[in-house]
Amino acid sequence: MYETSLTLEMVFSLAVLSIGICVLLLAYLFQKVTGDVERDERDYMDPLPPLLALIWPLVLLVANSLVQFHSNRYLDQLDSRLQKTGVSYMVNAEQFVAMRYVGALIAFFIGLILIMAVPPKQGTLLILLGLAAGGFMFPLVWLSDTRKRREKQVIRTLPVFLDFITMSVEAGLNLTGAVQQAMNKGPDGPLKNEFNIIMRDIRSGVTRAEAMKRMAARLDIPDITSFVNAMVQAERMGSSMAKTLRLQSEQRRTERFQRAEKQAMQAPVKLIFPLVAFIFPVTFIVLGFPIMMKFMAM
C-alpha cells in the first residue's frame, strides 16, 4: 500500500512538472518563435502533413536551440539520408532531429495522461521511458517506410518513362529533349521530380552526364544506377542512344515482371502463419464443438 501511494505521488509530481514545462515552452514559443515561423521560407518546398504542421512551431523552436549540440558530420549524414528518401524537399536535417525530440516529448506527455487516467500497479517509470523512446524513434521508422514507398514508385514508373524517352529519341529528338517530353507525358511521382531536377541542372550549366549521375546518387536504386551508367557509357562511346534505350526499357520491364512473379510465388508461404494461427483453430472449433457436445450429452 505504501509503495502504491509513493508511485502515485511520483506520477503526480512528474505530471505537474511536465505541465509546468509545457506551459513555459508554450510561453517561450509565442514570444520567440513567431518571427522564426515567418522567416521559415517554404515557397519552394513540399507542404507539411497536417499533424506535422500543427506542431511545426515547436519543431522550429527545438531546431533553433537544441540541434546546435549535434556535430556537423551527423547532420551531413542525416541530410544525405533525407535526400535519398525525398524528405529533404519537406524538412532539413536540423528540423528532422528536432522532430525526434518533439516526438519523444509528446509521447512522454501522452503517457503521463494515460497513467493518470489508468494507474498501473508497477513499472510506471519504465512505461514513460518506453513511450518517450518510441516517440524518439518514430521519425526514423517513418523515414525508412517513406524510403521503401519511394523506391517502389520509382521502380514501377521507370519503364513508362523509358518508353517515352525511347520513342522521342527514335523520333529524332536528342536525349535532353526526350527527357523533357517524358516529363510532360509521364505520370506524376518521385521519378518525374528527379527528371525535373536533371533538366534544371542542365539549364544551370551542368553537363548531362553529371546531372544524371547526381540523380543516381540521390536515388541510390540499382535500376536507376544501371540506366544512368548505360546512358553515360553510350554517350561517351558514341553508341546508338535509341538502341541502348530500347534495351534498357525491355530489361526494366522484364525485371518488373520477374519481381511480380517472385511476389506471387511468395504469397503461399506468407499465408502459412495466418492459416495455422487463426483459420485452422477456428475451423477445428466449429467442427469439433458439435461432436464434443454429443459426447458430453451421452
CATH number at residue 232: 1.20.81
Q: How many CB atoms lie within 10 A of CB 190?
A: 19
Residue 235: inside a domain, yes or no? yes
Give the count of domains, the chain: 2
Long-range contacts of 13-18 (CB under 8 A, 24+ apart): 14/112, 14/128, 15/112, 15/116, 18/108, 18/109, 18/112
* Cβ pair 87, 146 in contact under 8 A: yes
Residue of 75, 29, 28 lying closest to 55 (CA atoms):
29
According to the model, what pLDDT value does residue 168 have? 86
**If DSSP codes are grouped into helix, strand and coil, which group holds residue 71?**
coil
pLDDT in tens, 73-126: 888 888 888 888 878 778 888 888 888 888 888 888 888 888 777 776 677 778
Average pLDDT of span 211-234: 86
Residues 140 and 9 in one domain: yes
Buried-state track 260-298, b at ≥16 Cβ within 10 A, e below 16: eeeeeeeeeeeeeeeeeeeeeeeeeeeeeeeeeeeeeee
Residues 196 and 184 in one domain: yes
* Cβ pair 175, 164 in contact under 8 A: no
**Chosen domain end from 96, 124, 149:** 149
Residues 15 and 117 in one domain: yes
Residue 287: inside a domain, yes or no? no
Residues 101 and 160 in one domain: no
According to the model, what pLDDT value does residue 37 have? 46
Residues 142 and 37 in one domain: yes
pTM to 2 decimal places: 0.70
Reported confidence tier of residue 223, pLDDT bands at 50, 70, 90? confident
**Chosen domain end from 149, 182, 210:** 149
Residues 32 and 80 in one domain: yes
Residue 11: inside a domain, yes or no? yes
Residues 16 and 139 in one domain: yes
Residue 290: inside a domain, yes or no? no
φ/ψ of 66, rounded to 5, equals -95, -25
Average pLDDT of span 21-31: 62
Of the chain, the percentage scoring pLDDT greater than 90 comes to: 0
Cα–Cα distance measured from residue 176 to residue 188, given in angstroms and rounded to the nearest whole number: 19
Under 8 Å CB-to-CB from 78, ≥6 apart: which residues? 93, 96, 97
Residue 29: inside a domain, yes or no? yes
Residue 284: inside a domain, yes or no? no
Residues 241 and 164 in one domain: yes
Cα–Cα distance measured from residue 152 to residue 166, given in angstroms and rounded to the nearest whole number: 22
Residues 32 and 109 in one domain: yes
Residues 132 and 200 in one domain: no
pLDDT in tens, 31-58: 555 454 445 566 667 777 888 888 888 8
Domain of 256? 152-270
Q: How far from the centroid of its chain's Cα atoms is residue 98's Cα?
A: 16
The residue assigned the cell 525485371 is 255
Residues 76 and 90 in one domain: yes
Average pLDDT of span 25-36: 56
Residues 119 and 217 in one domain: no
Distances in Å between the alpha carbon of 53 and those of 25, 39, 60, 275, 288?
Answer: 17, 15, 11, 42, 55
**Chosen domain end from 124, 149, 174:** 149
Residue 265: inside a domain, yes or no? yes
Residue 295: inside a domain, yes or no? no
- pLDDT of 68 above 80: no
Select the more confidently predicted residue: 192 or 297. 192
Average pLDDT of span 113-140: 81
Of the chain, the percentage scoring pLDDT greater than 70 comes to: 84
